[in-house]
């Protein structure tokens, strides 16, 4: 391992050793290992997403970051994707003003290798493996918390949980009784609005939210957006044991696409739609004995048409050509899950699911036919306590899909509570990433009108691999977690080594008469490093810190260009800091700091220098009779401009104000 990783390892060992030694020396008494349950479970963060079991963070089988609604509010972020700048190791950027990128390694536009769930609904698209962040029918005001698993979690959520899980958990409707109005405005031509109402109708607790969002994007891009969405959730308590939850959402948007300096992809608009429907039934048989059934459907579409401008290429006149790009994808998913306690020391969660994906993309797949992919899953995860201060987590996911066949993703983790508030965890897991429809079956060609001789010319851009192996990862980690409820402080450090084989990369391929890109299993990569996060809350002050150091080693590659692309795709350092303080008289102030070292995202990205960004927010709470309101001023990137993903995405200082009223 590199010198920096050894230094972090030594630091963790010294901290652990010093804590144990000082505890043992106090009063010349040895540490008592028979700790009470309250020592471990009293007022500690609890997560649901890592193993599908409700667990304290200190007993989860993988590193996890919890982002609560206070952090989202004090950050001043307007876009959901930006929130993940607070997570160690997560790279966040704008590919364009209306398209964000969130990834945790091997950073590129589409294939983030991170599973994203919205209240249990998987929102990545089967075509690209991409999350349509700007088109999600979700308001930040409706989020209760976000749980981010920083590492493979295929044992719980399957193949595309390759480098992490983001689970967005919305608020219970009973928490949002009454109404909310919120508006936001500023530069560049930014205008947002959210209206929400929650109440009770018969036996239903419900929430209905509508929203609007628009801006002009970056100065040098045609990337404006105008988005309208509506979402609703209803919870019905059938009886003491059974509850029913219904959710749905719809987004309709217009996104600017194309480039000012292009003759083919000239500036134009894309019509975008996104929707989901979810039905969830939950039955409680007793303590640690529950059954749930879930069905959901998601739909995403994008439609754009453009007429290219005439130009000359290699002495051949290219005439004006009408081009059309239609993309429709949908997903149907049914899941059964059972949680049970088999003994005082052992509890398990097991279940199965079945999924159907349908994609129609004539331009990308070179066929008007709809491509269908089926997936079946069976999973089992368990938590075993062989002793009071030991916790063993183990489990696996079995999957069968139409693209790569049958796969198995196991995980084993061991946690040891050295003393109250001090935990060491070691774990190993294996995960897979199934190729997307584009990687497996893509056949993207442009057919243009030409003048000499009159006719058409077909230019291939990229083709799928047809028979690609799934990417595989074996991840090993060692973590130390510290928590002090007395002082309101928590921290964790994760050392990891991720060995990735059969990495899928678009490789330049010679063709006649044009070269093109073909997706291949083109490299084996090792990523190793250290991730650290810390939280402190003392009265009216909150502080959140995160940092990640990653070293990328190319073990083998199809050619030197592939090796160079992958090597540069990971920034070696990503860091963040967010501090907020509530003053008297309803005044709140916060400052955020974010940094990313130099890098070159894969694919459509360009080389980017190291940047540092400072944000600030100032808010004032007020009351008008029985109504509560807040006015806030947010200033993003206070100092020098920097570039995100591409050098025509120049992120300059932005200032906007928000006004909200609850009644």
pLDDT in tens, 49-70: 899 999 999 999 999 999 999 9
Mean pLDDT, rounded, of the chain: 91
Q: What tokens does 597 get?
A: 């070292």
Cβ neighbourhood burial of 146 (10 Å; 0-12, 13-18, 19+):
buried
Show contacts of 655-658: CB within 8 Å, 24+ apart.
655/186, 655/187, 656/78, 656/184, 656/185, 656/186, 656/187, 656/190, 657/184, 657/185, 657/186, 657/631, 657/632, 657/633, 658/182, 658/183, 658/184, 658/630, 658/631, 658/632, 658/634
Q: Report helix, strand or coil for 522.
A: strand
Which domains can be identified in the chain, with CATH numbers? 2-27+46-662 (2.40.170.20)
Distance (Å, rounded) from C-alpha 156 to C-alpha 153? Answer: 6
Average pLDDT over residues 641-659: 95
Lowest-pLDDT choice from 174-183, 427-436, 449-458, 574-583? 449-458
Provide the pLDDT for residue 45: 75
Q: What's the pLDDT tens digit per position in 106-150?
A: 999 887 799 999 999 999 999 998 899 999 999 999 999 999 999
Distance (Å, rounded) from C-alpha 75 to C-alpha 193? Answer: 18
* Pairing status of strand 390-401 against strand 115-118: unpaired
Distance (Å, rounded) from C-alpha 650 to C-alpha 643? Answer: 5
Q: Report helix, strand or coil for 493.
A: strand
Confidence of residue 315 (pLDDT cuts 50, 70, 90): confident
Q: What tokens does 142 get?
A: 């409706």
* Pairing status of strand 516-538 against strand 489-509: antiparallel
Q: What's the pLDDT tens digit per position in 334-356?
A: 999 999 999 999 999 999 999 99
Q: What tokens does 344 get?
A: 């005082």
Bond into 453 cis (ω within 30): yes
Angle at 36 between CA 33 and CA 37, to 5 degrees: 125
pLDDT above 50 (res 36): no
Contact criterion met (CB below 8 Å) for 127 and 327 = yes
Average pLDDT over residues 157-183: 94
Q: What is the pTM of this model?
A: 0.91
Confidence of residue 209 (pLDDT cuts 50, 70, 90): very high
Looking at the chain, the whole-number percentage of residues with pLDDT higher than 90 is 84
**Phi, psi dihedrals of residue 342, rounded to the nearest 5°:** -85, -25
pLDDT above 60 (res 24): no
Confidence of residue 44 (pLDDT cuts 50, 70, 90): low
pLDDT above 70 (res 27): no
Lowest-pLDDT choice from 4-8, 142-146, 317-321? 4-8
Cβ neighbourhood burial of 623 (10 Å; 0-12, 13-18, 19+):
exposed
Average pLDDT over residues 528-548: 96
Using alpha carbons only, how large is the chain's radius of gyration in Å?
Answer: 25
Average pLDDT over residues 397-417: 96
Provide the pLDDT for residue 513: 77
């Amino acid at each position: 391992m590199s010198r920096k990783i050894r230094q972090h390892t030594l630091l963790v060992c010294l901290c652990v050793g010093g804590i144990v030694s000082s505890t043992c020396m106090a009063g010349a008494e040895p540490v008592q290992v028979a700790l009470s349950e309250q020592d471990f479970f009293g007022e500690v963060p609890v997560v649901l997403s890592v193993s599908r079991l409700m667990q304290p963070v200190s007993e989860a089988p993988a590193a996890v970051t919890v982002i609560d609604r206070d952090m989202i509010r004090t950050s001043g972020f307007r876009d959901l994707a930006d929130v993940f700048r607070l997570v160690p190791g997560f790279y966040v950027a704008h590919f364009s003003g209306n398209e964000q990128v969130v990834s945790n390694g091997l950073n590129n536009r589409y294939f983030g290798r991170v599973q994203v769930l919205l209240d249990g609904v998987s929102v990545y698209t089967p075509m690209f493996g991409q999350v349509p962040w700007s088109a999600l029918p979700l308001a930040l005001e409706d989020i209760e918390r976000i749980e981010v698993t920083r590492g493979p979690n295929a044992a719980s959520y399957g193949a595309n949980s390759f480098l992490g899980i983001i689970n967005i958990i919305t608020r219970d409707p009973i928490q949002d009784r009454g109404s909310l109005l919120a508006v936001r405005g500023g530069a560049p031509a930014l205008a947002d609005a959210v209206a929400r109402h929650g109440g009770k109708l018969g036996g239903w607790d419900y929430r209905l939210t509508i929203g609007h969002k628009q801006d002009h994007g970056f100065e040098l891009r045609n990337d404006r957006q105008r988005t309208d969405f509506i979402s609703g959730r209803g919870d019905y308590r059938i009886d003491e044991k059974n509850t029913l939850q219904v959710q749905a959402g719809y987004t309709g948007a217009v996104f600017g696409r194309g480039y000012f300096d292009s003759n083919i992809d000239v500036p134009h608009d894309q019509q975008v739609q996104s929707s989901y429907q979810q039905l969830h039934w939950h039955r409680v048989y007793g303590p640690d004995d529950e059954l749930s059934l879930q069905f959901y459907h998601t739909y995403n579409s994008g439609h754009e048409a453009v007429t290219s401008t005439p130009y000359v290429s290699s002495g051949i006149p290219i005439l004006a050509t009408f081009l059309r790009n239609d993309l429709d994808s949908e997903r149907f998913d049914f899941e059964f899950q059972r949680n049970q306690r088999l003994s005082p020391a052992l509890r398990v969660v097991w279940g199965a699911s079945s999924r159907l994906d349908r994609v129609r993309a004539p331009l990308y797949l070179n066929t008007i036919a709809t491509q269908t992919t089926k997936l079946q899953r069976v999973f089992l995860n368990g938590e075993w306590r062989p002793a009071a201060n030991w916790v063993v987590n183990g489990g696996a996911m079995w999957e069968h899909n139409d693209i790569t066949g049958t796969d198995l993703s196991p995980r084993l983790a061991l946690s040891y509570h050295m003393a109250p508030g001090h935990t060491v965890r070691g774990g190993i897991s294996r995960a897979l990433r199934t190729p997307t429809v584009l990687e497996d079956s893509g056949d993207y060609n442009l057919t243009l009108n030409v003048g000499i001789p009159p006719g058409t010319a077909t230019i291939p851009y990229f083709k799928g691999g047809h028979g690609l192996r799934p990417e595989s990862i074996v991840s090993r980690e060692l973590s130390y977690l510290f928590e002090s409820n007395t002082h309101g402080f928590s921290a964790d450090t994760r050392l990891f080594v991720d060995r990735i084989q059969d990495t899928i990369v678009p490789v330049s391929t010679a063709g006649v008469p044009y070269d093109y890109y073909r997706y291949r299993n083109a490299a084996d990569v090792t990523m190793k490093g250290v991730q650290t996060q810390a939280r402190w809350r003392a009265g009216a002050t909150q502080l959140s810190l995160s940092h990640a150091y990653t070293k990328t080693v190319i073990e083998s590659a199809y050619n030197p260009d592939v090796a160079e692309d992958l090597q540069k795709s990971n920034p070696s350092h990503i860091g963040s800091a967010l501090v907020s303080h509530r003053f008297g008289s309803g005044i709140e102030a916060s400052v955020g700091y974010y940094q990313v070292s130099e890098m070159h995202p894969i694919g459509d990205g360009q080389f980017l220098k190291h940047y540092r960004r400072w944000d600030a927010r100032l808010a004032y709470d007020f009351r008008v009779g029985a109504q509560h309101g807040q006015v806030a001023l947010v200033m993003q990137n206070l100092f020098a401009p920097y570039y995100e993903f591409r050098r025509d995405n120049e992120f300059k200082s932005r200032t906007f104000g928000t006004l909200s009223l609850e009644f």
